[in-house]
Structure 1
Amino acid sequence: MTAEGRRHVEERRTRTRALFPRGGKGNEEHGKVGLEHLKRAREEKEGGERNEGSVRAKAKWREEYEYAASVAEARRDGGGGSDPASASASASASASVEAAAAGPSSSSGSRPGEKGKGKKASGLALALPPASKPDGGAREAGAASTSLSTFSAPSASTHEYSASVIRRQASKWPKPVWHAPWKLYRVVSGHMGWVRSVAFDPSNSWFVTGSADRTIKVWDLASGRLKLTLTGHIEQVTGLAVSPRHPYMFSCGLDKQIKCWDLEYNKVIRHYHGHLSGIYALQLHPTLDLLFTGGRDCTCRVWDMRTKAQVHVLTGHDNTVCSILSQGTDPQVITGSHDSQIKLWDLVAAKPMTTLTHHKKSVRCLGMHPKEYSFCSASSDRIKKFALPSGKFMHNTIQQQRSIVNTIACNDDGVMVTGADNGNVWLWDWQSGNRFQEIETQVQPGSLDSENGIFASSFDVTGTRLLTCEADKTIKFYKEDLEATPETHPVRFKPPKDMKRF
């Protein structure tokens, strides 16, 4: 060992003996003095490291401050110093920058140099867009709103982060439209059996109903009085339609008969023969002299109403065709069946264009919006909305009507009504599929409690009155409550988390 080394060891021994003397009085006091000396030495060492880290932090924040100040000054000069709005915005930006720059000095008591304990701090700088010209012209796209940029403060640790905002994704579900609730204002009785079908006169002065008592009754719409009773069917009358271009009315029933009635003489003038079993659906083409019928023989037949000729037989369903829609553009015919399928037909080729298999239960009714190019299908599993002409699935209704839906109708205001076999009438917003009202019909005296189903429903030509045909042998009239407001009857809407694709 060299002389310098021996001298160094001797100094350490002397210092240790002075701090911790062996034996003698005051040993405990000497020990305390030694511990305080070591603690003071450690604090001096850490204070040096802290001061060094604070200096580095201040230098970094000073650079950020100078950069932000230069940006604010450049934008203030570019936006015109005479603009008071620009001057106030630049002043607020400078104040924000100075407050951010003062951050490290105000927190100099922290210990960023300590491993694993350095606190990460993030500063916020307000980046303002250039002020608009006095003439009101826009500077550039994207400079119309104030943006908030973030930067992270340096720390002794090697990991740095920047604050970020995660925005909640907006719901894609259509927002519902407010509709006034509907109320019952009239009940008409006269049939001796279930009321199975209803149709309105194009002039909106009368309507007709078909019943299980094998009769067709004509009623005055304004007063609800019975005007006429037509007989001729030998089974239940399941379908009715009134021609908008001819003084004809068409009816069909479970007796496999299709009749054309002359409304001027109230007599049958034509019969259409061809179905092999009972007929459940009847529809008229809106622009052509064509008649569509569907029945238990799993076919949809197309008739020329003038010559009684059968134009096409649309085959492809595996069960009863119980609902038909018709429109003036392709697909001109849409059918729903108990085989849970919906078919969109090419009327010229008499072949299906598209087959929709979204339902798992029988499709008992179809409904089309009077103005929109879309339609709805109702089943005991779901009520679904489809777009035309492709038949693309749009969405389900939000709530589920857990019953067998027999009828569906829609008016120009976007109010859709569905009637079920349990006697409930549900009113929906067509756009969003949100149910805004549920009406539980009351069974009329003289009927069994079990006979409270709804078989048919329809809006009048104006869409302001709703008629339901029920199993208690009555026809019920509904109209909007004119005293209702969005404040008294607010929309209760809770969109689902995701839009179902099937």
Structure 2
Amino acid sequence: MADSVSESSALTVTRPYEIRSTRPEWHAPWKLMRVISGHLGWVRCIAVEPGNKWFATGSSDRTIKIWDLASGTLKLTLTGHISPVRGLAVSSRHPYLFSCGEDKMVKCWDLESNKVIRHYHGHLSGIFSMSLHPTLDVLVTAGRDATARVWDMRTKQCIHVLSGHKDTIADVQCQEADPQVITSSMDKTVRLWDLAAGKTLTTLTHHKKAVRALAVHPTQYAFASGSADSIRQWKCPEGTLLQNFEGHRSIINTLSVNTDGVMVSGGDNGSMCFWDWKTGHKFQAMETMVQPGSLDSEAGIFASSFDQTGLRLITGEADKTIKVWKEDDNATEETYPLDWKPKLARRRY
């Protein structure tokens, strides 16, 4: 008899995968604050300077424009590229702005004289993305030739050619700790690289479509990758899948995360989704507003970046405008309740 009691009590043990999902944090909805026009082509890339006074945009009109962050006024236009500018990065430790484009050029601009002081030669095709290492004097560029190149900022030497992808590398990100370089490619994979050895540490093959966007969390040791099938969140250094962000049905061109745990994804059709980083809950979805006089087909978000405080979001779009978004100051949990229903947490493999 005692045996049957113990057996029945053993059967009532809760199964581990019936853990209820955690409640997401409440975030205020975001709204459009300012539309900045001035470019004559698609706005393809954005970089906010570390002091948070200005930001730079690169466009298909082959120019780089520098804008005042507070007022949105144009401060400077830099010309020199002969094809669309696809990547920008502002150094936090030097007065330098780096740019790259479809003309295979990587330029280093001195922000004191506003002139190009260095070129980095080596890519065989257009360059689609670039990233500066936070602590080393190293620059990583990647593009259509399916390689990422690691450059010594000062000597202009190519230290490594990170090869292994089978197709265009769409995005590259650097961080302090291993993996110091992360690349995402049109070959549907994400690779984590050992910067010292110049070799692949891990290849993540979970995506079914081209992976166009990466976002590294500013404070946590994790990153997200975005493709048309889903957005996925990964843990560093080994690249363990943490969770999927489901519900943005679009080709995703850009991802950005701020320190408040808000992630934004921008789609090729002008759709934007705002997510709670911790739980993967989509708390807001919206369509961008195209400039009056633009075609509806010109709704597309190519680039996004939070400013250094994380309180402003800047997007670069296909209607040639730059849009600045901010949280709605008047929203409260009563006026904008959290639309979330707990569901059984699934095991995500």
Question: Which TM-score tier does this pair reach, normalised by the shorter chain?
Answer: over 0.9
SS at match of 1:450: helix
Aligned partner (choices 312, 337, 340) of residue 465 of structure 1: 312
Is 2:297 the counterpart of 1:427? no
More strand by share: 2
- 2:21 is matched with 173
Higher relative contact order, structure no. (Cα contacts within 8 Å, ≥ 6 residues apart): 2
Aligned partner (choices 193, 197, 205) of residue 357 of structure 1: 205
- 2:119 is matched with 271
TM-score by length of 1: 0.66
User: Which ranges of structure 2 fall in alignment gaps of 5 or more residues?
Assistant: none
Aligned partner (choices 423, 427, 445) of residue 292 of structure 2: 445
The structural deviation recorded for 1:172 is 4.7
In the aligned structure 1, how far is the partner of 2:164 from the partner of 2:104? 20
In the aligned structure 1, how far is the partner of 2:108 from the partner of 2:243? 39
- 2:218 is matched with 370
* Deviation digits for residues 336-368 of structure 1 (CA, Å, limit 9, x no counterpart): 000001111111111111111010101101001
The structural deviation recorded for 1:185 is 1.2
- 1:321 is matched with 169
Asked if 2 retains the 8 angstrom alpha-carbon contact of 1:194 and 1:211, the reply is yes
**Residues 47-62 of structure 1: matches in 2 within 5 Å?**
none
* Deviation digits for residues 409-458 of structure 1 (CA, Å, limit 9, x no counterpart): 00000000010011011100000010001121111123222111000000
The structural deviation recorded for 1:174 is 3.5
* Deviation digits for residues 264-292 of structure 1 (CA, Å, limit 9, x no counterpart): 00000000000000000100000000000
In the aligned structure 2, how far is the partner of 1:241 from the partner of 1:495? 40
Matching residue's letter, 1:300: A
The structural deviation recorded for 1:488 is 1.6
* Deviation digits for residues 53-102 of structure 1 (CA, Å, limit 9, x no counterpart): xxxxxxxxxxxxxxxxxxxxxxxxxxxxxxxxxxxxxxxxxxxxxxxxxx
Asked if 2 retains the 8 angstrom alpha-carbon contact of 1:292 and 1:300, the reply is yes
Matching residue's letter, 2:236: L
More helix by share: 1
Asked if 2 retains the 8 angstrom alpha-carbon contact of 1:186 and 1:478, the reply is yes
The structural deviation recorded for 1:470 is 0.4
Q: Could you tell me the percent identity over the aligned residues?
A: 61
Instruction: Assess, with a 3 A threshold, how the Cα gap between structure 1 residues 495 and 317 changes in structure 2: closer, same or farther.
Output: farther
- 1:48 is matched with none
Is 2:157 the counterpart of 1:309? yes
* Deviation digits for residues 4-28 of structure 1 (CA, Å, limit 9, x no counterpart): xxxxxxxxxxxxxxxxxxxxxxxxx
- 2:322 is matched with 475
Between structure 1 and structure 2, the one with the greater Rg is 1
- 1:490 is matched with 337
Matching residue's letter, 2:264: V
User: Which ranges of structure 1 fall in alignment gaps of 5 or more residues?
Assistant: 1-150, 152-160
TM-score by length of 2: 0.94
How many corresponding residue pairs? 341
Is 2:33 the counterpart of 1:185? yes
- 1:205 is matched with 53
**Residues 42-81 of structure 1: matches in 2 within 5 Å?**
none
* Deviation digits for residues 380-411 of structure 1 (CA, Å, limit 9, x no counterpart): 001001101111111111x3211100000000
The structural deviation recorded for 1:165 is 7.4
The structural deviation recorded for 1:493 is 1.8
Is 2:140 the counterpart of 1:258? no
